[in-house]
Amino acid sequence: MSSAPLPDAGSNWVDRHAPEGLKPWLKLGRFDRPIGIWLLLIPGWQGIALALASERRTSSIYDLWLILGFAIGACLMRAAGCAFNDIVDRDIDVQVARTAARPVASGRISVKKALAFTAACSLVSLLILLTLNWTAILLGVASLLLVAAYPFMKRITWWPQAWLGLTFNWGALMGFAAASTAWAAFLVLPDYSL
Residue-wise pLDDT for 6-40, tens only, equals: 566 567 889 899 999 999 999 999 999 999 999 99
b/e sequence 109-128, b meaning 16+ C-beta within 10 Å: beeebbeebbeebbebbeeb
Q: For 51-71, give the DSSP string.
A: HHHHTT----HHHHHHHHHHH
Q: How confident is the model at residue 1 (pLDDT cuts 50, 70, 90)?
A: very low
The DSSP symbol for 5 reads P
What are the tens digits of pLDDT across the range 136-154? 999 999 999 999 999 999 9
Q: From the CB of residue 26, how many other CB atoms can be counted at a distance below 10 Å?
A: 18
Quote the radius of gyration of the chain (alpha carbons, Å).
Answer: 18
pLDDT value for 183? 60
Q: How far apart are CA 105 and CA 99, in angstroms?
A: 8
Q: Looking at the domain that runs over 23-193, which CATH code has it been given?
A: 1.10.357.140
| 26-30, 60-64, 102-106: least confident range | 60-64
CA distance 180 to 51: 5
